[in-house]
Amino acid sequence: MPTTFPLHSPDFYTGDPYPAYKELRATAPVCFNDVTNFWALLKYEDIRYVSTNPDMFSSAKGITIPDPVFPNPVQEGNLIFTDPPRHRQLRKLINTGFTRRQVAVLEPKVRDIVVGILDDVRCGTTLEFAEGLAAPLPTRMIAELLGAPADDWEQFRTWSDACTGVDDPEIELDSFVAIGELFEYFQQLIAARRSEPRDDMLSVLTTAEIDGTKLTDDDLLNFAFLLLVAGNETTRNLIALGTLALIEHPDQRRRLIDDSTRIPGAVEEMLRWTSPVTHMARTAMADVELRGQLIREGDTVVMLYGSANRDEEIFGCDAEEFNVTRHPNPHIAFGCGEHSCIGAQLARLEARVFFEVLLGRYPELELVGDVDRVRATMVPGVKRMPVRLGTGC
Ligand code: HEM
């Protein structure tokens, strides 16, 4: 009888889930959680299979681990909750705002923001890394993309924290209140961009057209909301947990200080090693058998990316090691298939520039207290992480 683990509980993900993942990959790679009723998938190939078969595994009925207290929040018509063919059409339209070129032109802006954040830090001081350094960049970039006034980013952060941290007792703002305020704010912004377009992504999307179809106000509203929730805490988590990995592996940090051209590869390894989004879920649309287990039509299937990203069959016998020069590194931290992350290039850009500037200025990083995580099953972000930054001077 294999050991059972509390895969439904936020505490499982805020702790260290990796030993349990390893055991489950070996003993029960497709296992049922009978507390909140879902199948968990631990193996890389199974997760690829589910992600690339949207006709058989739907996103429309929920994409998170079932939570009896907060029933699956589905937002009908929102990109991430749609299946083909509607998903393909929506995604094509939205992609017009996320081309490689459009993301690349953001680099000077990203660098300005990072330099501005680090200009306020004095060498040798201890600071709250997660709040002070990791959090501002992703939120400010989303405000930038949407063409929202720069000063509104703090408010964005409060709303986004309330939406992603519903299980965390320290987050006071009710998620429903946050969603209401956020929608009202975006409604006004969309109306403003429709009447006076600028060169931001929201303006591009108000005019985007494919096969005679345009995005409606509801589509834009859903998308602006998704952008804030999907792009904020995730990237913050990558930057904070990536920094923690560099603190815990000084030999790997040294390799980046000695040769900064290794940073893009290091960001891929941080994505693999930390898997900032723990899972996404699907609903089986027909009975299907996976590794001898019968998954019935209507069952929820949860894809544990952190486990897939350490699957020995893909990453070899050093899968549990953090190695910034790992190559190849086919991680699926951004998911894969139809719904794979639309903001992946932006997240990569933000993290690369952040670590280039951080390590260029402060090669010495020291953890000087406990790391506190947000109580959440999907993005158990870093709440507190006191770090001392030094130059060696
Ligand atoms: C380290 C940072 C990030 C990680 C780890 C991450 C992870 C993911 C994952 C795993 C999915 C797949 C969803 C699925 O298969 O159901 C996804 C989708 C998505 N992500 Fe990200 N994400 C990150 C950053 C961002 C950013 C910066 C943005 C935008 C500003 C963004 C926007 C989206 C959107 C819109 C989707 C839905 C795509 C679709 O349904 O077609 N993400 N992300």
What structural domains and CATH numbers belong to the chain?
Answer: 10-390 (1.10.630.10)
Residuewise pLDDT in 10s, the chain (393 residues) = 556 899 999 999 999 999 999 999 999 999 999 999 999 999 999 999 999 999 999 999 999 999 877 766 677 889 999 999 999 989 988 887 788 888 888 999 999 999 999 998 988 989 999 989 999 999 999 888 888 887 888 888 888 878 766 666 776 677 788 888 888 998 999 999 999 998 888 888 888 887 788 888 888 888 888 888 889 889 999 999 999 999 999 999 999 999 999 999 999 999 999 999 999 999 999 999 999 999 999 999 999 999 999 999 999 999 999 999 999 999 999 999 999 999 999 999 999 999 999 999 999 999 999 999 988 999 999 999 999 999 865
Residue 295 Cβ inside 6 Å of ligand 1? The answer reads: no
Would you state the pLDDT for residue 40? 98
Rounded distance from Cα 123 to ligand 1 centre (Å): 34
Rounded distance from Cα 126 to ligand 1 centre (Å): 32
> 127: part of which helix (H) or strand (E)?
strand 126-128
Tokens coding 310: 């350490």
Q: Distance between CA 327 and CA 266 in Å, rounded? A: 10
Tokens coding 384: 């507190």
Residue 277 Cβ inside 6 Å of ligand 1? The answer reads: yes
Amino acid at 85: P
Residue nearest to atom 11 of ligand 1 (CA): 341
Quote the Cα angle for 216-350-319, to 5°.
110
In sequence order, what are the residues at sequence separation of 6 or more whose Cβ sits closer than 8 angstroms to the Cβ of residue 14? 373, 374, 375, 376, 380
Rounded distance from Cα 340 to ligand 1 centre (Å): 7
Would you state the pLDDT for residue 324? 98
Residue 63 Cβ inside 6 Å of ligand 1? The answer reads: yes
Q: Three-state DSSP class for 126?
A: strand
In a mutational test of the pocket of ligand 1, which residue from 341, 349, 350 has the highest number of ligand atoms less than 8 Å from its CB? Answer: 341
Q: Is 289 exposed, middle or buried (0-12, 13-18, 19+ CB in 10 A)?
A: exposed
SS (H, E, C) 191-255: HHHHHCCCCCHHHHHHHCEECCEECCHHHHHHHHHHHHHHHCHHHHHHHHHHHHHHHHCHHHHHH
In sequence order, what are the residues at sequence separation of 6 or more whose Cβ sits closer than 8 angstroms to the Cβ of residue 294? 287, 288
Cβ atoms of 155 and 128 within 8 Å: the answer is: no
Of 6, 38, 16, 12, nearest to 298 by C-alpha is 38
The torsion defined by the Cα of 240, 245, 251 and 257, in degrees rounded to 10, comes to -20
In a mutational test of the pocket of ligand 1, which residue from 90, 225, 226, 234 has the highest number of ligand atoms less than 8 Å from its CB? Answer: 234
Would you state the pLDDT for residue 177? 84
Annotate 155-184 with DSSP letters as a single string: HHHHHHHHHH-TT-TT--S-HHHHHHHHHH
Would you state the pLDDT for residue 286? 98
Q: Distance between CA 303 and CA 63 in Å, rounded? A: 10
Ligand 1 atom with least separation from CA of 332: 10
Residue 166 Cβ inside 6 Å of ligand 1? The answer reads: no
According to DSSP, residue 131 is labeled I
Ligand 1 atom with least separation from CA of 351: 1
Rounded distance from Cα 283 to ligand 1 centre (Å): 19
Rounded distance from Cα 232 to ligand 1 centre (Å): 10
Q: Distance between CA 91 and CA 89 in Å, rounded? A: 5
Give me the long-range contacts of 15-18 (CB less than 8 A, separation at least 24): 17/278, 17/306, 17/307, 18/306, 18/310, 18/320
Would you state the pLDDT for residue 171? 67
For 68, what's the count of Cα atoms within 13 Å in the CB-facing half-sphere?
Answer: 7
Would you state the pLDDT for residue 362? 95
In a mutational test of the pocket of ligand 1, which residue from 334, 338, 382 has the highest number of ligand atoms less than 8 Å from its CB? Answer: 334
Residue with tokens 């961009």: 193
Tokens coding 28: 């029960």
Residue 234 Cβ inside 6 Å of ligand 1? The answer reads: yes
Would you state the pLDDT for residue 4? 86
Residue with tokens 């996976």: 290
User: Partners of 213 in the beta sheet?
Assistant: 210
Give me the long-range contacts of 217-221 (CB less than 8 A, separation at least 24): 217/187, 217/190, 218/77, 219/77, 219/90, 219/93, 220/186, 220/190, 221/183, 221/186, 221/187, 221/190
Residue nearest to atom 39 of ligand 1 (CA): 339
Tokens coding 378: 């999907």
